Amino acid sequence: MLDIDPGVVLLPGLVDTHVHICEPGNTEWEGFASATMAAAAGGITTLVDMPLDSAPVTVSTSALDIKRRAAQGQCAIDVGFWGGVIPGNLDELGSLHDAGVLGFKCFLADSGSGDFPPVDGRQLTAALRVLRELHAPLLVHAESAEAAAAVPQARGRSYAGYLAAHPRGLENLAIAQVIEAARTTGGQAHIVHLSSSDALPMIPSARGDGVRLTAETCPHYLILTAEEIADGATAAKCSPPVREAANREMLWSGLNDQVLDLVVSDHSPCTAMMKELDSGDFALAWGGISSVQLSLPLVWTEARRRGFTLTDVASWMAERPARLAGLTGKGRIAVGCDADFCLFAPGEHFVVEPDRLHHRHPVTPYSGRTLSGVVRGTMLRGRFVTGERPQGRLLARATS
Ligand SMILES: [Zn+2]
């Protein structure tokens, strides 16, 4: 029997479907052991790895094999994989699906990795057509490459300059493109890390027409605001960018209205040097925020102030991500599901100290911030995750 403190709530183990693990190839940025320990410390029991930051990128079954071998025996929690869609790998999608990826990811703009180029509109449509037959979702980084090319790039320490170089229109245009591609093909599309609140009204409109569309946002868009990001504070650089406070409030409304389905970390790590903390140059710094360990208390801190409940949070951060990834045995406390739990003390508080973060490079824009909610323990299949012996499994489609 578990002896649980009355101030502790039993949540379903969280499911984070947007985590970049860079092993093999860029393990000095992040690896399976460090990322999964950080996730476990944050109450997450399942994560799904993005296909682009390792070498090789996960765009073929041979690359997936290499990735799985690298992960084997290292994972503190369960790990699944997204496959990649890039120009020219359409013929690989069926075999990647058979090999167990949970779905696919593509970019419509530069991914930052030369090995993972973006697809154009024709290729997006072709991929959705193939994936419809496989019953697999296509996760899309929705920023328009054509529109981005026309915007002058800002250099230097100004956050306003960085924001101006990544206007909402890049997202709005790309999300409209994804909607039309999903409409014409009948494929299932998912918008990752939605930042532009302008795009929200398009989503229920499309769903009303029968378009199969879901969307996520991330803790940084729900917590940070452009107004408070100091010039040179590149720890907060991500892409698409954190926007204004009014935009943040619209994203919370999007969650309330169920226009946004889920909240996932987009844990996107790199070395401290790549964050250009000394120069503070937003053009040079890596775009990505490492937050897998903090996503639950970050979201809860803001959610409770707005009157949301832990049931809402569990829906955004466990049940719906599991559904996106087709993990029917995850994300819920229910008979037949895995006994994955997060023991959470919602009324407690703590101050973010980078030294206590388990991910490889403890660079964080949240240092010194007081957050509500403390993860007291994480259980995977009924056993506490201690880190002494990795007990995570590598998940394949339809096995969980
Ligand atoms: Zn990402």
Give the tens place of pLDDT for each residue, 111-148: 988 999 999 999 999 999 999 999 999 999 999 999 99
The predicted structure's pLDDT at residue 400: 41
The 10 Å CB-count burial string (b at 16+, else e) for 205-238 is: ebeeeebbbbbbbbbbbbbbbbeebeebbbbbbb
CA 20 – ligand 1 centroid, Å: 6
Q: Is the dihedral of CA 147, 260, 357, 227 positive or negative?
A: positive
pTM of the predicted protein model? 0.97
CA 49 – ligand 1 centroid, Å: 9
Determine the length of the chain: 400
Q: How confident is the model at residue 193 (pLDDT cuts 50, 70, 90)?
A: very high
The predicted structure's pLDDT at residue 399: 46
The 10 Å CB-count burial string (b at 16+, else e) for 181-190 is: bbbebebbbb
Taking the CA of residue 281 as centre, how many other CA atoms within 13 Å lie in the half-sphere pointing to its CB?
10
CA 5 – ligand 1 centroid, Å: 36
Neighbours of 239 (CB within 10 A): 20
Q: Is the dihedral of CA 327, 329, 330, 334 positive or negative?
A: positive
Q: Which amino acid is at 390?
A: P
CA 99 – ligand 1 centroid, Å: 22
When pLDDT is averaged across residues 374-384 and rounded to a whole number, the result is 97
DSSP 8-class letter at 289: B
CA 295 – ligand 1 centroid, Å: 14
CA 138 – ligand 1 centroid, Å: 14
CA 377 – ligand 1 centroid, Å: 26
When pLDDT is averaged across residues 192-210 and rounded to a whole number, the result is 98
CA 118 – ligand 1 centroid, Å: 14
